[in-house]
Structure 1
Amino acid sequence: MIRSRVMHVVMAGALAAAPLALVGSSSAAPPPGPGYQCSSNDGPEEPNPIKIMIAGDSITNASAGDYTWPYWLWKDQDGRGANVDFVGRFQDTINANTREQGSRQYIDCDFDQDHEARPGVKLWTDPDNLPNGKFGFGSAANYQNNPVYPYYPGATSWIRGAVTAHTPDIIVLFAGGNDLARTSEEPELAGLNDQQIAAFVAGKLKGVIAQARLGNPDVDVVITTVPTTSATSRAGRYNALLPGVVSDLNTANARVVLATLPGWSNHTWDGVHPDAVGEVAIAAAIDDKLHAINPALFARPNPLPTPKIGPRMTAVLDPPALDGDNKVKLTWTLPFGSDRTVVYARNKSGNGPWVRKADLVLGSLRYYYPSVGTQACGTVYTLPQTPCTTYTVSGLSGGTEYEFMLASAKGLALSPDLRSAAVAATPTGPVGRIDAPAAVAGLHAVTVSWTNLGGVPGYDVQWRQGGTNVWKSTTSAGSSRVISSLVAGRAYAFRVKAQGTATWSTEVVAKPRANALAVGKKPVLTKVSGKKIRATWAASAGALKYQVQRRVKGGAWKVVATTTARTLVSKKLTKGKTYEFRIRPFDGDVGGAYSPTAKRKVS
């Protein structure tokens, strides 16, 4: 039914965006944690609403910390004035870490949460193995009267019971993906190829629609394509059969329309389930089909909403604890729905930049995405999945004050704009190693800078040309040093350490910039006795040397000299042949544009 506006609403724009280098504020959000739940009260209904029953699997049911795509559909319709009522037995979602159903931890509670979706649901399956979630819309739903299970006693199928009980005008049926992916659970699919499996599942879809019509022969149905992020071959083949399902079942009084959903493989939090951007795309495609069924409903908004992904609340850091020399132990409370934490630290004493220290992800995510994160928390298949809520930052400098903050994520969906409030600590122990310094290229020079550790007499700075092991040295009393008289365009490595310590920083590489080089000047060619040619050219602005190239007309160019002069006499050439010359200006290892070509015949 229609829900009134509720307390504890966290809107996408409720928290001001914070640059990555700054500490975000969590003051606008309710306290994060497992106890937070949306509370909802029945609100007044407008007369004669268009009843929509959203039926689906985990993509529709979503999980704690999501908006859900029905949320965006509600905003697209109710938010623009359509008189709609979402109907169904359920209002909950699932906790993705524990796999427990019954959560009400939505990012924003302000939408009609009624639905008819369960994770793992199929279109049609044997209903006798409930512990494994093997139940389908076309199967009977005489389960125990438990709020997390479909319960329509006496109905020949779940979908028929739901339609009879809730009297929807329109069903949005988003299912079939589990039928295609989990074929080993169905004995009748043994030995079938992908095309045959796709046809079998399309037949089950027809059966579900037929069962829905037993509850209301005039109910309209929006069916959807399934994502190709899993069971790719079967999903593509199944999707190709759906226009035929529409053609077979669509009537004037009971319409069936197909919503072709966009791919959202780049907008998921786990490779399958959509993040907020993916949810918006799904809702938009369904908006269009609802409008096609009933013009009183709205097509997709233009422009579409552009929500931020990831958790919309921040983690809360506890006061840090010293954990031995040069270490600080952090503990925190995750915002609901979050299962991943990125740890940042900076040298507060030296006003240093924020540096990513760790990316702590669930073992299950690391299994499928081994390049994501720096440390896995928990095993791959053990439930509940336990996200990391503690981390020890090591390698710090004793006696230096540091700040720490966190970014939260739900799987692949890392919040781009929110950071926890920072906490500070000063570790004990000896002066530590400098983090990688910064190296900024200048004209024939590089400025090397680092975070001041404090309490040290100065710093040793070294540099070397790439490919050599010969280091040159200088010192600095501050936190930077300009290394000059370098060759433009040549790679140099730099490193820094505090005086009185033995450990150098990580090496960083930079190439000094060159002068702006003018185009080479066309050479003047003159005859020299002995079948030689003299090439002379004017200076090019910014050039410190010149490369001379020559070829027999029409042949390949060859470098014949690199010189700081502006004239060159060739070796003895072949009488009767025409030779071409061109000049390229250089500053160090950086070359400019070639000059126009000059030519002369040897006589």
Structure 2
Amino acid sequence: MPRTGSTSPPHGRPRPTAARLAALLLSTALVVAGLTSPAEAGTGRAGGGGPIRVMVVGDSMTHGAEGDWTWRYRLWQWFRDEGVAVDFVGPYTGTQDAAVAAPPAPPALQDDPPAPASPPRTSGAYAAGAESFDSDHFAVWGRQAAQDKSRIREQVARYQPDYLLVGLGFNDLGWFVSGPEGTLDSMRTLVDEARAAKPDVKLALANVPQRTRMDGREDLPRNTDAYNGMLAAAIPSWSTPESPAALVDWRGNYACELDGCPDGYDGLHPNASGEYKIAQAFERTLHDSYGLGADVPAVPGTIPARPTPVPGNVVASPSLGGVTVTWDAVFGAYGYTVRSRLKGATTWNESRVGANRHDTGWTSDGQEYEYQVRTENGDQVHSDWSAVVGAVAHPRTARGPGDIVTHATATGVDVSWGEPTGDHTDTIDRYQIITLDKDVPGAWIGGTAVKGRSVHIDGLVPGHHYSVAVATWNAAGGGIPAGARPVVVGAGTPPVPTDLRVTSTDAVTVRLSWTGSSQAAGYRVWVRDVNSGAPSTADENVVESTTHGVTYLFPGVWNYEFCVTAVNGAAESGKSECVVAPRPEGS
């Protein structure tokens, strides 16, 4: 039972009063006299076999991040203050360690085998004020009941816990692993597998907290409530005299709702207050259902604030890929916000990073950027901004290729392109094909990478509109992507646009509108000078809406005729009816 943490004075509930210590001494005396069992007195294992062994099983909310106290620490304090001898057991001891700063990595090639799963990051430290404590556990960021149900037997067989404290299920529901019924089935399997390794293990099974609203996940609150109801109804039937099971009301004791999460720092994960609340929920079950401890104290009125200093030693430097900004890592930071702008601009662009480095790519030679950095410790907790630093970009990346052709397929897209030209093309190693589903708000950027100059990407959503681009990666990194025509997956050649209307907003500006089609990924606007006798022309600029403005039409808009075609990648409709712009009054 390794003890981890600092030796600083603890932050937590008040130590037991004199009356409480007297009660604990009396309980111990009764055990020694043989008048009660250690479990009944709340001092250790029944039968005098030493401290009770407790295994905590969970996901990120239980594992914690570097600098967290964790609810496991608050539970350990409760056992200590209640005089209950305990040995926390499990394969890990730390929180999740902080992310390590690194330069942008080349995208994996399409034909590469899947990367092996990384081992859990479990060497992170606890809050600076935490006492050295017995921190063994079996909790990992991202873990699901669907995963741990096949792992728990080995862990229980190895560590032989007397009590199994389980906080799983959110990731099953939140990441589309299973619905309420499937998550309940995973939890039941986990219970059965634990009992297969230790038939008399006692179980404290937590329900799942709500989180703040997530766009596109209106199902999650309903599924969470449904699962919690099913779990509460099922646990009594799972309980046996040899291996009792009891519900832990994490959901009811944790202040986190759709419209606000006072107990979470990011709408879900516990802050210092939430850690106390989760521990208290488990303490209540251990006390009420298993007779451990004399009482369950209230959460302290004063909660320690998380240190959130301004990052120091912020430096911006030219790099092969553009500009790199670094700073001294802040212990316990959940992340950082970097804001940047071209020198002379009045607005900043902000981005979040997990480690103490930010790289600005897709730059042009001679561009000067300015930066500021701040520490982020949750949605409402952040430092002030650092002082402004700057650097001039001198990238040695290669620009994206030309002659990109896209063809929508039934479930994907075919993309081909020409040989890149220009500076720094001699060290090109691969091409990154970038796709973005425009019909899914907040969609992740997708795609792949190849060595050649063509690719087929499958597994896209039929009927959805996708943007497509191609970037080169050379010895310096990824270059500025070249855009391609968008596609509608599963659609063929779109129909001709109709109802083209041209409105002259002034003597040199028009506004076009037309009726399009869901089969069109975009539109091209064709322009002809009616006095020149030349045919109409259109560039490769694809308009994704059914309106478009054109200006600088000298000597006047009435000299120009407009048509529109619809495109789906390389597939293109015929031209719409062509319309000459009307001469505005007074022109």
Interval of TM-score (by shorter of Structure 1 and Structure 2)? 0.3 to 0.5
Structure number with greater Rg is 1
TM-score (norm 2): 0.45
